[in-house]
Amino acid sequence: MLLGLVHVNMGAMSRPDDLVAAARAAEAAGFDSLWAGEHIVLPDPQVPPSPMDPRDPGLDSLLALTWAAAHTTTIRVVTGIVILPQRNPLVLAKQVASLDILSAGRVSLGVGAGYLEPEFRALGANFAERGAVTDEYLDAMLALWYDERPEYHGRFVDFAGIDAHPRPQQHPIPLVVGGHRAPAYRRAVARAHGWYGYWLTPDDVATSLAGLRAAAGRVERPAELGELEISVTPRGRLTPERAAAYAELGVHRLVPLAGPSSDGPREAVEAAVAATAGL
């Protein structure tokens, strides 16, 4: 069982020293990855389905991961997740490629289509067509990263006669798709190296895995992507019994919170290591 640590950019982890402490504790314990989520803005006052109080601190995911990468040497840094249709794809491509260079090839890009309409509205982003925008933005970013002469012509992105260097160190940058609905399952199967489910019970994971299997029956998975890697942030405190239940379902990586309840990052790391010992 692989282990990651999520929300290294939120709450107490938004303080520079605490973020570094969390990153180093996870790396020392053998975790393979650090994950940073995002909400650029939040509804005020908080209304469902918004997951956070608008005054809860949360650093920009890419800046937080850059800070974490600068204070570690081997652990991967993952956007878990970037809300892709809220970002300019060329700017994001430059940011991710830059972080891949600065981290010596340790970046994985996790993306999602988003779900908070007030956030989209405030940013001037396309909520109604966010799934189609997500797919097109991914295509545009890949063209900018890997094509000798980048060019893309779509409904939402259109460019030619440009280039951007340095290109990423990795070829390809691993792509992770987050989300618990049919379009996310389709996107993960068709084009991603991994799928990420957030705050899920084992029963929730079983439902999502069924959705992924259904998607695999409808869309072709390119052979070069290999097996779809399943990463899950478990709902509630992680115990050996619950960790075993996730493992039995086929989860490859558990990604617990950096500081659940009143615990700090070291306590979270130690608890995850203890819960997964022997898996």
Mean pLDDT of the chain: 96
Cα(99)–Cα(166) distance, rounded to whole angstroms?
A: 11
The per-residue pLDDT for range 154-189, each reduced to its tens digit, is 999 999 999 999 999 999 999 999 999 999 999 999
Q: Are 265 and 26 contacting, i.e. CB atoms less than 8 angstroms apart?
A: yes
Say what the pLDDT of residue 198 is: 97
Q: Dihedral, CA atoms, 271, 274, 277, 279, nearest 10 degrees?
A: -40
Q: Are 3 and 254 contacting, i.e. CB atoms less than 8 angstroms apart?
A: yes
In angstroms, the Cα distances linking 9 to 39, 50, 233, 254, 263 are 11, 18, 15, 18, 16
The per-residue pLDDT for range 208-257, each reduced to its tens digit, is 999 999 999 999 999 999 999 999 999 998 999 999 999 999 999 999 99
SS3 197: strand
In angstroms, the Cα distances linking 277 to 198, 225, 254, 270, 272 are 22, 29, 12, 11, 9
The per-residue pLDDT for range 128-137, each reduced to its tens digit, is 999 999 999 9
How many Cα neighbours within 13 Å face the side chain of 219?
16
Candidates 3.30.70.100, 3.30.70.20, 3.20.20.30, 3.40.50.2000; CATH matching 2-276: 3.20.20.30
How many Å from the N-terminal Cα to the C-terminal Cα in the chain? 6
Express as a percent the part of the chain with pLDDT over 90. Answer: 94
Q: Are 84 and 113 contacting, i.e. CB atoms less than 8 angstroms apart?
A: yes
Q: Are 24 and 71 contacting, i.e. CB atoms less than 8 angstroms apart?
A: yes
Q: Are 228 and 221 contacting, i.e. CB atoms less than 8 angstroms apart?
A: yes
pLDDT > 60? residue 262: no
In the chain, what's the furthest Cα-to-Cα distance?
Answer: 56
Q: Are 39 and 116 contacting, i.e. CB atoms less than 8 angstroms apart?
A: yes
List the domain boundaries for the chain. 2-276
Backbone angles phi, psi at 178, to 5 degrees: -105, 155
Say what the pLDDT of residue 73 is: 98
Q: Which of 38-42, 138-142, 258-262 has the lowest average pLDDT?
A: 258-262
Say what the pLDDT of residue 267 is: 87
Q: What pairs with residue 175 in β-bridges? A: 109
pLDDT > 60? residue 261: no
Quick one: DSSP state of residue 181? S
